[in-house]
């Protein structure tokens, strides 16, 4: 019987929704190998991530629900209506109990579950290791300029050691994340002749989280975008490409399910801010989702429906033949969409409304022209809020090493 393998790669970046559209270099030049993966398999586009905080958005994938369903405290529905744009920042994310994590369900179906992460907000301290048979954290990743390359080296060794098992493998990297630094020749690949920096700690340069709305000269803004592009190209060629080739060389590629996605995108002052965690515009929310099914089932499909990260887990379970009905999953399997049986978008929208067909960069808010639609959306959010169950809160204890990582990523002082 052939092995069954599921690999999920989560890279902390978005496929340059804004920067690629506003510069001469093409997206294909930046992500050549990922583009080849897209051509060979399935592109879910567009994808909407329904949270704006790294910890919450990462929870949307490995747990079972929208972050709202796991909240312990927050505003009441009427307050939520008045302040819908910032509601996620006013709620505290909590963890689902261990038996609700999908890794447990996969394990009991004879899959070995392992993970390779960059620590930070995907640290085991925050409960992410629950349900895995092994959980490897590279605690120095956020400080390295070649994290993606080292990540692949570790993953490749692991695959060699477990090549005869059925396994689920979760791979996460902070490589394309502030600070933007990667090795030569990548770090200068997209820079103009007069570029000021070949690497940058953007959060530190701006002066911390309180300065994320600081305007920079256009040449400096473009310099930062170019460094971000370099990080993506480096990750593409040193992690994604080698991983796919490794599976092919070992004759494992055909039977492997591969999911490639991200927990958030980045803003480069597109709407007056930098980074992520402060707004709900597409450059932060719209992230890539590529899925290669075993035997390249559904190959070449492109799904236009709006879907969410919470749909990834049900899709994995569905493909593996695992009954997930015992869980209250917010997401739904994407397979019915691929089979043409479900044509509805799976999304909630914020109070600001945009017509992306005529306003792809979200500059013209049409909520005033679509007030009835806006009210129906708010009513739906209220219904979800009322169903959310209050859970027992917990507190993670951060050691000095984890604090150092989070400080380097710009999340704490």
pLDDT average, residue stretch 269-298: 87
pLDDT mean across residues, the chain: 75
280, pLDDT greater than 50? yes
The most confident of the ranges 40-54, 136-150, 348-362 is: 136-150
| 354 and 364 Cβ atoms separated by less than 8 Å | yes
Q: Which residue range is the domain that position 126 belongs to? A: 5-408
Q: Is residue 260 part of a domain?
A: yes
- Binning pLDDT at 50, 70 and 90, where does residue 98 land? very low
Work out the pLDDT band at 138, boundaries 50, 70, 90.
Answer: confident
At 15 the pLDDT is: 38
pLDDT of 91:
28
Would 347 be classed as within a structural domain? yes
Question: Could you give the C-alpha distances from 173 to 236, 256, 260, 307, in angstroms and in order?
Answer: 12, 20, 12, 23
Supply the CATH number for residue 306's domain: 3.40.720.10
In a domain, 413, yes or no: no
Between 18 and 216, the higher pLDDT residue: 216
Check pLDDT > 90 for residue 368: no
Determine, yes or no, domain membership for 197. Answer: yes
Determine, yes or no, domain membership for 290: yes
Number of independent structural domains in the chain: 1
Q: Is residue 245 part of a domain?
A: yes
38 assigned to some structural domain: yes
pLDDT digits (tens, 9 = 90+) for 149-189: 999 999 999 999 998 888 999 999 999 999 999 999 999 99
pTM of the model: 0.71
Q: What is the pLDDT of residue 412?
A: 78
Which one is predicted more confidently, 59 or 409? Answer: 409
């Amino acid at each position: 019987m052939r092995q069954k393998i599921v690999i999920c790669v989560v890279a902390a970046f978005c496929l340059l929704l804004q920067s690629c559209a506003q510069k001469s270099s093409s997206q294909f030049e930046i992500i050549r190998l990922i583009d080849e993966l897209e051509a060979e398999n399935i592109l879910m586009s567009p994808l909407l991530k329904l949270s704006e905080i790294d910890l919450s958005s990462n929870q949307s994938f490995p747990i079972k629900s929208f972050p709202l369903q796991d909240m312990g405290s927050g505003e009441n529905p009427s307050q939520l209506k008045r302040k819908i744009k910032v509601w996620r920042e006013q709620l505290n994310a909590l963890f689902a109990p261990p038996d609700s994590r999908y890794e447990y369900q996969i394990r009991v179906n004879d899959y070995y579950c392992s993970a390779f992460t960059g620590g930070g907000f995907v640290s085991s301290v925050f409960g992410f290791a629950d349900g895995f048979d092994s959980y490897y954290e590279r605690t120095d990743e956020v400080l390295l300029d070649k994290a993606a390359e080292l990540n692949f080296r570790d993953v490749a060794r692991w695959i060699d050691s477990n090549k005869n098992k059925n396994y689920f493998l979760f791979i996460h990297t902070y490589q394309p994340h502030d600070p933007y630094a990667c090795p030569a020749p990548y770090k200068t690949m997209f820079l103009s002749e007069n570029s000021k920096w070949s690497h940058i700690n953007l959060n530190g340069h701006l002066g911390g989280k309180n300065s994320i709305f600081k305007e920079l000269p256009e040449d400096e803004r473009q310099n930062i975008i170019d460094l971000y592009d370099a990080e993506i190209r480096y990750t593409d060629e040193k992690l994604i490409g080698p991983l796919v080739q490794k599976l092919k060389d070992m004759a494992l590629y055909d039977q492997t399910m591969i999911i490639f996605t991200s927990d958030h995108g980045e803003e480069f002052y597109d709407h007056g801010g930098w980074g992520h965690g402060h707004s709900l515009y597409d450059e932060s929310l719209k992230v890539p989702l590529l899925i290669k099914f075993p035997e390249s089932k559904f190959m070449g499909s492109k799904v236009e429906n709006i879907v969410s990260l919470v749909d990834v887990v049900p899709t994995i379970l569905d493909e593996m033949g695992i009954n997930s009905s015992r869980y209250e999953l917010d997401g739904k399997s994407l397979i019915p969409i691929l089979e043409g049986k479900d044509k509805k978008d799976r999304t909630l929208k914020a109070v600001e409304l945009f017509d992306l067909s005529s306003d792809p960069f979200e500059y013209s808010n049409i909520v005033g022209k679509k007030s009835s639609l806006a009210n129906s959306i708010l009513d739906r959010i209220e219904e979800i809020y009322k169903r959310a169950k209050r859970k027992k809160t917990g507190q993670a204890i951060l050691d000095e090493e984890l604090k150092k990582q989070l400080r380097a990523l710009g999340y704490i002082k």
